[in-house]
Amino acid sequence: MLLFDIARMALALAVTLGLIGLIVVGLRRFGPDTLRRLQGLQPPKAERRLAVVETLTLDPARRLVLVRYDAEERLLLLGEGQVIAKAPVPAARPTTAAPEEA
């Protein structure tokens, strides 16, 4: 009887931890953005004005971030919990390759 009770407790613990793990995976995948969108708190992606274009890690303490808002891009150097420098960058224009004629 004692061995049966221990096995039942171990199985219940495994099932509980498995359910917690599934909930964590689901929240990471469908988490805050989906919940905000369902509640109507977040505008659709087409109406967003702010976007992180690219990031580059320089070292463990500093990072370069290219941020676009409206039609302007800014290059930010982030480090030690603050914005160290910022510089305006001309917005990149998409290039379309013209078909070559023979």
| Number of separate domains in the chain | 2
Convert the pLDDT of each residue in 88-101 to its tens digit.
777 666 555 555 55
DSSP H helices in the chain: 2-30, 32-39
Q: What is the pLDDT, as a whole number, of residue 102?
A: 45
pTM for this prediction: 0.44
Q: Do residue 30 and residue 54 come from a single domain?
A: no
Q: What is the pLDDT, as a whole number, of residue 13?
A: 97
Output the CA–CA distances (angstroms, integers) from residue 67 to 6, 14, 15, 31, 42, in the order listed.
56, 44, 44, 24, 19
Convert the pLDDT of each residue in 46-82 to its tens digit.
677 888 999 999 998 889 999 888 888 888 888 888 8
Measured distance between the N- and C-terminal CA atoms of the chain, rounded to whole angstroms:
87
Phi, psi of 70, deg, nearest 5: 50, -120
Q: Is residue 28 part of a domain?
A: yes
Domain with 76 in it: 49-89
Q: Report the alpha-carbon angle 94-64-82, nearest 5.
A: 135
- Confidence tier at 18 by pLDDT (50, 70, 90): very high
